[in-house]
Amino acid sequence: MSYNPKIHHRRSIRLQGYDYTNSGIYFVTICCYQREHLFGEIDNGEMKINAIGQIVSNLWQKIPQHFPNVELDRFILMPDHLHGIIIISESEENFSLANIIQNFKSISSRKINRINKSYGISIWQRNYYERIVKTEQELKNLREYIENNPANWKDSNTE
């Protein structure tokens, strides 16, 4: 079914009026399409990344090569999603957080589909979650959340 504005009422989850090209620290969560377990599995509280997960992890680490004003902080790949902290600094080129995430999702989808010989298959959910990190304490808490995520993870598909 195609998008029909009369029956589909998409509401943006972005902070209204905020300029996402601003320098800042952003916590993001990107989920696999239909929460499919594509990247590996949790074993004894540790994430065991498979070959597709390794591709995604490598491409995440390459984000600063495409966006020189971006620095990556903590990152964790889970079976069906990822969490990462992205730091955007001031630059002549004003790439938004959405540009960065869209580029990452597009490149990773193409590469995974090429390897799986399954062109056009959705890898990622349509959107992503973001949070603007405002304080050092919040950053510290998010870093701990990322580091502890595999040990605390509950599979939403089995609950």
Buried b (16+ CB within 10 A) or exposed e, 102-120: eebbeebbebbeeeeeeee
- Of all residues in the chain, the percent with pLDDT exceeding 70 is 86
Is pLDDT larger for residue 19 or for residue 108? 108
**Cβ contacts of 3 within 8 Å, gap of 6 or more:** 10
Quick one: pLDDT band at residue 159, thresholds 50, 70, 90?
very low
pTM reported for the whole predicted model: 0.85
Q: Which two tokens stand for residue 36?
A: 């499919």
104-141 pLDDT, tens per residue?
999 999 999 998 888 788 899 988 999 999 999 999 99
Give CA–CA dist 5/153, Å, rounded: 36
pLDDT greater than 70 at residue 10: no
Could you tell me the end-to-end alpha-carbon distance of the chain, in angstroms, rounded to an integer?
A: 29
Sheet with 70-77, side-by-side order of all strands:
70-77, 81-88, 24-31, 129-133
Give CA–CA dist 156/37, Å, rounded: 11
Residue 44 contacts residue 57 (beta carbons within 8 Å): no
140-151 pLDDT, tens per residue?
999 999 999 999
pLDDT greater than 60 at residue 14: no
pLDDT greater than 80 at residue 15: no
Cα-based angle 135, 127, 90 (whole degrees, multiple of 5): 45
Residue 36 contacts residue 125 (beta carbons within 8 Å): no
35-48 pLDDT, tens per residue?
999 999 999 999 99
Nearest partner of 44 among 156, 159, 157, 153, judged by Cα:
153
Residue 140 contacts residue 85 (beta carbons within 8 Å): no
